[in-house]
Chains A and B, each alone.
Chain A
Amino acid sequence: MALIIYVLAFVGGFAIMSLELLGGRVLAPYFGSSIYVWGSIITVFMLSLSLGYLLGGRLSLHHPSLGRFAVIFLGAAVCLYPLVHFSEPLMSWIFQRVEDPRYGSLLASSGLFIVPTVIMGMISPYSVRMLVRTTEQSGQVAGVLYFVSTLGSALGTLATSFYLVLWFDIDTILVLLTGALLAMAALATAAAWWGEHRPRDSRGRNAARRDKVLP
């Protein structure tokens, strides 16, 4: 089970940074590539992630399960995909109304990226909750989890800037990211289903272990 959680966190980290890098390319036709365009994007991603961490932690208080974890990934995919169709009209709308490209780019990156990034930010704290069994291990578990998800982010940055933009259209990459998030939702659902329907003896052992470590 732990391995699955790490895979989920890795893919979540990958998707976040891949999206952030694409953000600059999405905004450039309307707001340019001035330094404040990157300032807007990074601000929006940091704010969204911080909010996502808060919400993810909060959500993990209520009956945490792989099934609910799957819903987070499904939500992220559902909120990411519309960028393919709605970023042009939204940026054009903002461009016509906001003259200053600093605030134009801040508004546009807020409108485009806040919702999916907040949801993806929920993945890390929720993963910690799924993995921690005892208070003594909690720091160690969080450490490994950050390691894995940040490694995913590093790879997402590298893969996108070195290769993906060379091979694919931006929209294609967004569709691929949506697909990856959906695959993770499916993986978590399958793992949840397997957890409930495994053979009796194994399930009994599992239940016993869970009873022991969770107060």
Chain B
Amino acid sequence: MIVPVPSRWLAVTALLTALPLAAPASARIIHEERSLYSTILVDQQGPLRCLQFSVRRNQRNQSCVNERRPREMVFVYPRMMMASLLLNPQPRRILVLGLGGGTLPMALDELLPDARIDVVEIDPAVVRVAREFFAFAPSDRVNVVTQDGRVFVKRAIARGEQYDLVMLDAFTGDYIPEHLMTREFLAEVQEVLADGGVLAANTFSISELYEHESATYQAVFGEFFNLKPGDSGNRVILDRRGPLPTAAVLAERAQALQPRLEPYGVDFGRLLPLMTTETDWDSGTRILTDQYSPANLLRNR
């Protein structure tokens, strides 16, 4: 009898275990786990420990830590997310949607000892992996909730809670939660932001989705800072409830914050020129709503 699926799996497993032997320089997988929402992989390559959410070999890493310099952010996108501090340097209540390896909440916790941070992660396995392999440590100031981000925000509105900073980092490469991209969701985030509160969103810079998403953010927040480092496929959107700070204010805050953010690899000298409010998409693009949000289809166009 032919049993195609298990034998294929055996072949894949054999390949995965054979690879490190064949090429000693390549990454070694130290943890692999199939969760309710994705396949979680942790690999180690020299001092670099990385988290991935897919078994496809060419999948980009989601989150990495350099064990020799554990504070330094390996990727550009978390550094761009930290530029949100230029819009509001002293957030006291922070909400992070999407945990990953915990890079952002841990950095914020260190930098802002007076802040209370709520982290919302849909996948309990990701929380476990972040604690075990990335030294993520919830505390009395860092509170982790296993829940869908949209549901958490709606409940927070009902409880009358407000945040000074919301970080949206819930999009992995494989599947986009489409209900976290709509006009209604962004309006809910706006409602949960205190006056002058800031939303930093890590999203996509390629495909048709870029146009639709940009038009949606513009419809809800008006003008926003759009950070696109060019090559990476990531972009970060920085919105503020209320008017955006002027270039002079940004430069002044950057200068004051730079020494504290140095250990994290954040270089405002490189980030500030990226912060543009220019509209480089067709502003007539159909916006994403709860009625219309085919983000996963648009991403492939």
List residues of A whose CB falls within 8 A of some B CB: 25, 28-35, 95-96, 101, 162, 165-166, 168-171
Do A169 and B292 touch across chains, with their CB atoms under 8 A apart?
A: yes
User: Known contacts A34-B148, A101-B147, A169-B291: does B179 contact A29 (CB below 8 Å)?
Assistant: yes
User: How long is the Cα–Cα vector from A30 to B150 in the complex, in angstroms?
Assistant: 7
20 pairs, A vs B, C-beta closer than 8 Å: A28-B290, A29-B185, A29-B290, A30-B154, A31-B148, A32-B148, A32-B149, A32-B150, A33-B148, A33-B177, A34-B122, A34-B148, A35-B36, A96-B158, A101-B147, A101-B148, A165-B297, A166-B294, A168-B292, A169-B291
The answer to whether the Cβ of B191 comes within 8 Å of any Cβ in the partner chain is no
| Closest partner residue, chain B, to A34 (CB atom) | B148
User: How long is the Cα–Cα vector from A169 to B288 in the complex, in angstroms?
Assistant: 10
Contact of B154 among A95, A168, A171 (CB under 8 A): A95
List residues of B whose CB falls within 8 A of some A CB: 36-37, 122, 147-151, 154, 158, 177-179, 182, 184-185, 289-294, 297-298
User: How long is the Cα–Cα vector from A168 to B294 in the complex, in angstroms?
Assistant: 10
Contacts of B297 in A (CB 8 A): 162, 165-166
Distance to closest chain B CB from A73 (angstroms): 26
Distance to closest chain B CB from A164 (angstroms): 9
Where chain B touches its partner, the secondary structure class is loop
Contacts of A31 in B (CB 8 A): 148, 151
User: How long is the Cα–Cα vector from A96 to B122 in the complex, in angstroms?
Assistant: 21
Do B147 and A32 touch across chains, with their CB atoms under 8 A apart?
A: yes
User: How long is the Cα–Cα vector from A95 to B150 in the complex, in angstroms?
Assistant: 12
Contacts of A170 in B (CB 8 A): 290-292
User: Known contacts A95-B154, A96-B158: does B179 contact A33 (CB below 8 Å)?
Assistant: yes
Distance to closest chain B CB from A99 (angstroms): 8
| Closest partner residue, chain A, to B148 (CB atom) | A32
Distance to closest chain B CB from A24 (angstroms): 9
| Closest partner residue, chain B, to A164 (CB atom) | B294
Q: B147, B178, B292 — which one has the most chain A CB atoms within 10 A of its CB? A: B292
Contacts of B294 in A (CB 8 A): 165-166
Q: A29, A101, A166 — which one has the most chain B CB atoms within 10 A of its CB? A: A29
| Closest partner residue, chain A, to B289 (CB atom) | A169
Contacts of B182 in A (CB 8 A): 29
User: Known contacts A166-B297, A169-B291: does B151 contact A35 (CB below 8 Å)?
Assistant: no
User: How long is the Cα–Cα vector from A166 to B178 in the complex, in angstroms?
Assistant: 12
| Closest partner residue, chain B, to A27 (CB atom) | B179
User: How long is the Cα–Cα vector from A32 to B178 in the complex, in angstroms?
Assistant: 10
User: How long is the Cα–Cα vector from A166 to B182 in the complex, in angstroms?
Assistant: 14
User: Known contacts A29-B184, A32-B122: does B151 contact A171 (CB below 8 Å)?
Assistant: no
User: How long is the Cα–Cα vector from A35 to B151 in the complex, in angstroms?
Assistant: 14
User: How long is the Cα–Cα vector from A33 to B293 in the complex, in angstroms?
Assistant: 13
Do B179 and A28 touch across chains, with their CB atoms under 8 A apart?
A: yes
User: How long is the Cα–Cα vector from A101 to B147 in the complex, in angstroms?
Assistant: 9
Do B151 and A32 touch across chains, with their CB atoms under 8 A apart?
A: yes
Do A28 and B178 touch across chains, with their CB atoms under 8 A apart?
A: yes
User: How long is the Cα–Cα vector from A170 to B297 in the complex, in angstroms?
Assistant: 15
Do B151 and A101 touch across chains, with their CB atoms under 8 A apart?
A: yes
Distance to closest chain A CB from B110 (angstroms): 30
Do A30 and B151 touch across chains, with their CB atoms under 8 A apart?
A: yes
User: Known contacts A101-B147, A166-B294, A170-B291: does B37 contact A35 (CB below 8 Å)?
Assistant: yes
